[in-house]
Amino acid sequence: MTECGLSNLATCIPEKLFEYILTIVNAPFQPLLDAINSLMTQPVNIHIFESLWVIIIYIISMFYGLFLLFAGFNFMISGYDAAKRENAKEWLKNTVLMILFVQASFLIYELVIEVGALLAAGVMDIIDPHFFLLTADSITNIGLELLLGMFYGIILVITVVFLALRYLLVAVGVLFFPFALFFYFIPPLQEYGKALLNILLVIIFVPFFNALILFAASALLDLPVFDNFKIVLMISAFLLINLLSLFLIILGIFKATTSAANSDAGKAIGAAVKYFA
């Protein structure tokens, strides 16, 4: 920023006035950009659901004893049948792992969220913050910013809505994470556990991929061909991260549904529905 003095007063005053005008122009976008940065880089607060998580863990824990008894009973009646003994040992191992992971699910989920937030924050920190603001780099840029400025604001609002929805889904996900781990260690229900885990992990790490897209768009400004199309890059980047978020969520749900339908339990349910239909 140029310091004003008697020697450069003629050039400094117009420069300061122009900077002031740019600040006013960018004022409506700044709260939206701050909200986007916060929603992408700050870990989701899941402690508001901790009391409900405790109730869910209490309900799930009632099944631990049944699985231990089932594994022990199978082991005792297996006799010299090596396959049955291995199956009983597998059930026992899965039950022990289930107890450990389900009981620690809150801490595990919180740790995964923090890792995702750190990855996104690391990428966002290396992006020039001026990339997201309207600037007067050239006459062409000024004209495009006047023409597309309102559309840019609409895209930012849509991005905030998507990220707020993602924040809500991640926060509520702490209540489904214990069920995902619980199902994962029960062989007939393992595909359902994998499906839930896939959906939750996709939603958690979406901001990291969004940050990569924003970084790539900001890096493209170094190419001469994009010098006069900054706002087009800005709009394209935010539009792409919205489409990517929607695509990843739909893909995760589709993959989860397909995996669940192809599981043993899913096939059994499908066969039962066809039988009674």
Among residues 242, 209, 204, the alpha carbon closest in space to that of 44 is found at 204
Residue 201 maps to a domain: yes
Is the predicted pLDDT of residue 186 greater than 90, yes or no?
Answer: no
Residue 196 maps to a domain: yes
User: What pTM was computed for the model?
Assistant: 0.80
| Helices and strands (H, E) in the chain, number of each type | 10, 0
Question: Which residue in the block uniquely carries the two structure tokens 């400004």?
Answer: 221
State the residue range of the domain holding 187: 37-44+110-276
CB 234 within 8 A of CB 131: yes
Confidence of residue 219 (pLDDT cuts 50, 70, 90): confident
Give the pLDDT score at 185: 87
Between CA 228 and CA 139 the distance in angstroms is 8
Range from 1-10, 44-53, 219-228, 261-270 that averages highest in pLDDT? 44-53
pLDDT digits (tens, 9 = 90+) for 62-121: 888 787 777 677 667 665 666 666 777 777 788 888 899 999 999 999 999 999 999 999
DSSP 58-104: HHHHTTHHHHHHHHHHHHHHTTT-HHHHHHHHHHHHHHHHHHHHHHT
Give the pLDDT score at 239: 92
Give the pLDDT score at 272: 41
Give the pLDDT score at 264: 54
Residue 217 maps to a domain: yes
> How many domains are contained in the chain?
1
Residue 116 maps to a domain: yes
Residue 117 maps to a domain: yes
pLDDT digits (tens, 9 = 90+) for 17-35: 556 666 776 677 888 989 9
Give the pLDDT score at 16: 56
pLDDT digits (tens, 9 = 90+) for 31-46: 898 999 999 999 999 9
CA dihedral of residues 150, 153, 159, 165 (deg, nearest 10) = -100
Helix axes 264-276, 230-262, angle to 10 degrees: 70
Residue 183 maps to a domain: yes
Give the pLDDT score at 172: 94
Give the pLDDT score at 274: 46
Is the predicted pLDDT of residue 234 greater than 70, yes or no?
Answer: yes
State which H helix or E strand residue 138 sits in.
none
Residue 173 maps to a domain: yes
Residue 19 maps to a domain: no
More confident residue, 196 or 144: 196
Give the pLDDT score at 273: 39
